[in-house]
Structure 1
Amino acid sequence: MDLLGGTGGPVRVAGRELAREELLRRASGVAARIGGADAVAVHATASLETVVAVVGGILAGVPVVPLPPDSGPDERAHILGDSGARLLLAARGAETFEGEPPLVPVDDLPPGDGAAAEPAPGATALVLYTSGTTGAPKGVLISRSAIAAGLDALADAWAWTPDDVLVHGLPLFHVHGLVLGVLGALRVGSPLVHTGRPRPEAYAAAARDDGGTLFFGVPTVWSRTAADPAAAGALRGARLLVSGSAPLPVPVFERLEARTGHRPVERYGMTETLITVSARADGERHPGYVGTPLPGVETRLAAEDGAPVPSDGETPGELHVRAPLLFEGYLNRPEATAASFTADGWFRTGDIAVIAPDGRHRIVGRASTDLIKSGGYRIGAGEIENALLAHPAVREAAVVGTPHADLGEQVTAYVVADGVDERRLIEFVAGRLSAHKRPRTVHLVDGLPRNAMGKVVKTRLGELAP
């Protein structure tokens, strides 16, 4: 199975470009260097070096572990240690820390000849770390066959062809930016223009100067675009605007349509499932709905007791998924893997959905209150709580997502502490975890609401806010 497809257009990242043939030559040189490694980490900046390194891992059949470039020391050490990565691929001069795997400067490696044995379809291609509801991030094992199945299904749904020019500026360490936004373009054969950052003016420039036809963004990107009449107007000539990674607010959908003339395509997925549900390029697009299951994907709704929930457009239930593009499990966590599936083999997404009689899906909430969707990121509250509790002045901490006009949700913390202010706590977390995980608001309170078992009742935290 050739995961990367055949011929295709160039890849440009932040203004630097490589023809596909040159990209594969450089990636082949990476593959020759890392061949036989158990796993390799990639310092996943928005750069051509990241693309070359990831493609090199794909060619070599070595699992690639994208490392968020803004990882704090605790998160970075956890990912590198838990994944077992033996090498760290990065651009020349990248900063490393004591105890980390040896650095391999991607730009110093000689190009290869492209000769490599094709890895087995079931081999692990990526280990993507995702925040759950508690504790440190878990490594999600994504196989080559799952990526291929997922990308082919999306190409069908979005009528994505080599004639498209894909434009986005999303981070290259998660499904949206890396799997869809890089491997998708390479598999389909369409040119890729990565704008470095997902700024409305950069998207507009790519539409005008590069003939961008297919644009990827998270709701925050589309909210900012809809608020910029000039940038939005430049996208009128595009073929498709795709929104994902978090729910797109209906007002943003409507403003975007008014300004660009496009009804955006919404889709739904998780790191563990890739993209499973999407509106189609040739179908109707309804605000608030994420579409219908992709080819090969089955979905169902279940009540808390496991009983079936009808697809009547009104009754909510936990969304379960069964598909060939599901993950292979959590790295070194068999108990967590087993707990994420039902006895009859369906993956429990933990998201609450409603399915209409015509198959349209609407995501209405989270089965728990501990997963925060902010600016397209899925952020685990437990990880931030652990970081806050590491501060010597903090006695108790609880973190939730609260509404935010631009980000969708913001990270909000309720903290019982002595002798420390909000600003210092925010800086403390930002120094330990990724920047997007820092609380935007910290409420210093006298105590947290708890039930008879001593568990924090997060639904009552809002009562404590001033």
Structure 2
Amino acid sequence: MNAPFWIDPTELLLPRDEDRPLAATPDLSRAGFRERALCLAGALQERGVRNVALWFEDAIELAIALVGCWRAGVMAHLPGDVLPSACARVDTNVDFWLSDADVPLPSARVFSSAELMGTALPARVLDAEVAGLVLYTSGSSGVPKPIAKRWRQLADEVCALERHWPTRETLCVLGSVGPHHMFGLPFRVLWPLCAGHLIDRPQRHYPEELMQASLTHPRFLWIASPALLRRVQQRIDWPVLRGRLMAIYTAGGPLPPEVSDQIAAACDCRPIEIYGSSETGAAATRQGDVDWRLLQDVRAGLNEHGALWIASPWTAGREQTADAATLTGNGLQLHGRLDRIIKLEEKRISLLEIEQVLLSHPHVADVRMGLAPGRPRLSALIVLTTAGLHTLRNGGRRLLLDGLRRHLHGRVPPLAVPRSWRLLPQLPWNAQGKLTQAQFIELAGPRPRHPNFEAPSSLEDGTLQAEFDVPLDLPVFPGHFPCSPVVPGVLQIEWAMDQARVHVRPDLRASNIENLKFQRLMRPGDRAMLSLRWDDTRHKLTFSYHMSGKPCSSGRIVCTSSDESRSV
């Protein structure tokens, strides 16, 4: 290793560059990191711990716990999330938990690192052959799957990353992904730790948050999900990042080539895509719409079904994937997952094939296919482009969907044309680029009748104001009106009453409406604000809708309570 600040993973607890900062807010030096990890290792050893679960939202605190476990020969378990069901499954495999967050388990099962500071163990080269860690990946089913890794595998992968992208200067590493999986863990935690970079502690969930945190540092790199990068175009001030954003690493799903091109043009920093999985670790990389190049010491091949296998020093032998691939002279090309095959009327249907065809239509920005809940019929979750939204607003749902059906005709089997369609502003991909089956079933269910209102704010006169986006797929749109959908007045009144029952009084009922005015249409995808003011003396609810400060509608609803209605 020729990098100026490189430390081999097995030597992380040896004294070196003691004053070099590892993190800020709060500050932590290498000396402080080493002392805390050794004290934690001492406490674990004193208690005779064999297995411990780790959940830290602070990347540095996770690093301290991981290295402390390594020094003590303890198996570290990293759950993919801390939902109650996942925690219950992991909890049966561990002595207790270390965490800096609220974990849905009895308090006696969860400790902070500060509570377990024992007598420091001596500093020495870490034994890469002892213990290791267990990751829990949910995949698309939502059922956690344990994947064991030896410390040697993690160390070998981190060293491979440094060989491929050697450290030439100290940067701050910021991430939109969590540190509990085989993208966030090596890229946000272990590699920066060994390369002498400054580690940004929290996960930055939103583009604006990521940008603002970045600008407190002179030069930095991002560890980001494709889902976030697909959303950043209108939410990032790219010129201020030019020359300071030195690299973007992304993994978990395909990054559309046009998104890669747009980011490269905006800030002269084309995203570096990483191909791999929890089992394989990082295996290949590319920038732009080119073949994937295998990392050094990685071998690849295909089984009899054309599915890719990967082998490297950091895999447990040959790892078989479900990814269809073609080996090329430059590396490999990926063609999607073979396991996204379903059967309809005894015919095999590739969900990925349908998605790829739909994504080639100018009205589709993102798509997810699956089976509708409760019956064997295909459903499509569609995110519209600007052109698609224009067609919906000015031609209606039927015109839009007829165009998509014609686009599929002749390109996929007739059975592969979706029977059910849902139009969404975006898909809720998680940080690993996955959409769970439970989320798909919820989104593919009945079309929403109401928007998702944001938490209201209160003005000095008691008026409540809540912003919302008009859903793209209201079931009333075909009747109001088929070729130019608008939110009907009766539904606007219903929304106002529903919000009043949530935030004013739960028992309100409308008995009369006064001074009703409609001044401007609300249409699919519009951003609007609802204002509510309750007059308790007169039992009247005044409501109004605005868009960009301009009035859409307003009125007063004379209300009674449930008790008053029964007494009349």
Q: TM-score, normalised by structure 1?
A: 0.68
Counterpart of 1:287, as a letter, is D
Distance 2:374 2:437 in 1: 20
Distance 1:88 1:120 in 2: 23
Q: Tell me the equivalent position of 1:287.
A: 289
- The one-character-per-residue Cα deviations of 1:376-399 (angstroms, maximum 9, x if unpaired) are xxxxx9xx99xx9xxxxx967999
Distance 1:21 1:400 in 2: 55
**Shift in CA distance, 40/200, structure 1 to aligned 2, threshold 3 Å:** same
Q: 1:206 offset after TM fit, Å?
A: 4.2
Q: Tell me the equivalent position of 2:415.
A: none
C-alpha contact 2:60 2:189 (8 A) present in aligned 1: no
Q: 1:230 offset after TM fit, Å?
A: 0.7
Distance 1:237 1:254 in 2: 18
Distance 1:122 1:367 in 2: 35
Counterpart of 2:27, as a letter, is E
Match of 1:318 among 292, 307, 331: 307
Q: 1:157 offset after TM fit, Å?
A: 1.2
Aligned residues: 365
**Shift in CA distance, 232/266, structure 1 to aligned 2, threshold 3 Å:** farther
Q: 1:32 offset after TM fit, Å?
A: 1.2
Distance 1:103 1:65 in 2: 14
SS state of the match for residue 368, structure 1?
coil
**Shift in CA distance, 121/147, structure 1 to aligned 2, threshold 3 Å:** same
* Alignment pair present for 1:253 and 2:255: no
Q: 1:179 offset after TM fit, Å?
A: 2.4
Q: Tell me the equivalent position of 1:183.
A: 190
Distance 1:165 1:245 in 2: 22
Q: Tell me the equivalent position of 2:330.
A: 358
Q: Tell me the equivalent position of 1:157.
A: 164
Q: How does 1:328-339 map to 2 (within 5 A)?
A: none
**Shift in CA distance, 204/2, structure 1 to aligned 2, threshold 3 Å:** closer
C-alpha contact 1:169 1:194 (8 A) present in aligned 2: no
- The one-character-per-residue Cα deviations of 1:119-160 (angstroms, maximum 9, x if unpaired) are 532333210011256683221111111111111111111223
Distance 2:147 2:185 in 1: 14
Match of 2:113 among 96, 106, 117: 106
Distance 2:119 2:176 in 1: 28
Q: TM-score, normalised by structure 2?
A: 0.56
Q: Tell me the equivalent position of 1:125.
A: 132
Match of 1:11 among 19, 22, 46: 22
Q: Tell me the equivalent position of 2:276.
A: 269
Q: 1:253 offset after TM fit, Å?
A: 0.6
Distance 1:444 1:94 in 2: 32
Q: Tell me the equivalent position of 2:300.
A: 299
Counterpart of 1:19, as a letter, is S
**Shift in CA distance, 190/267, structure 1 to aligned 2, threshold 3 Å:** same
* Alignment pair present for 1:239 and 2:240: no
- The one-character-per-residue Cα deviations of 1:158-184 (angstroms, maximum 9, x if unpaired) are 223563332223212111222221111
Q: Tell me the equivalent position of 1:278.
A: 285
**Shift in CA distance, 33/368, structure 1 to aligned 2, threshold 3 Å:** same
**Shift in CA distance, 161/88, structure 1 to aligned 2, threshold 3 Å:** farther
Q: Tell me the equivalent position of 1:27.
A: 37
Match of 1:368 among 307, 317, 339: 339
SS state of the match for residue 224, structure 1?
coil
C-alpha contact 1:25 1:113 (8 A) present in aligned 2: yes
Q: Tell me the equivalent position of 1:427.
A: none
Q: Tell me the equivalent position of 1:212.
A: 219
Quote the sequence identity (%).
21
Q: Which shifted more, 194-203 or 180-189?
A: 194-203
**Shift in CA distance, 238/88, structure 1 to aligned 2, threshold 3 Å:** same
Counterpart of 2:76, as a letter, is V
**Shift in CA distance, 50/436, structure 1 to aligned 2, threshold 3 Å:** farther
* Alignment pair present for 1:97 and 2:105: yes
Counterpart of 1:369, as a letter, is R
Q: CA RMSD in A?
A: 3.8
Counterpart of 1:66, as a letter, is L
SS state of the match for residue 336, structure 2?
strand
- The one-character-per-residue Cα deviations of 1:320-352 (angstroms, maximum 9, x if unpaired) are 11111114xxxxxxxxxxxxxxxxx63211111
**Shift in CA distance, 437/50, structure 1 to aligned 2, threshold 3 Å:** farther
- The one-character-per-residue Cα deviations of 1:67-99 (angstroms, maximum 9, x if unpaired) are 345x32222211222xx21121123x844425x
Query: Any stretches of 5+ residues in structure 2 without a counterpart?
Result: 1-7, 343-350, 353-367, 386-417, 419-433, 447-477, 479-568
Q: Tell me the equivalent position of 2:462.
A: none
C-alpha contact 1:3 1:144 (8 A) present in aligned 2: no
Larger Rg: 2
C-alpha contact 1:319 1:351 (8 A) present in aligned 2: yes
* Alignment pair present for 1:170 and 2:170: no
* Alignment pair present for 1:87 and 2:75: no
**Shift in CA distance, 87/118, structure 1 to aligned 2, threshold 3 Å:** farther
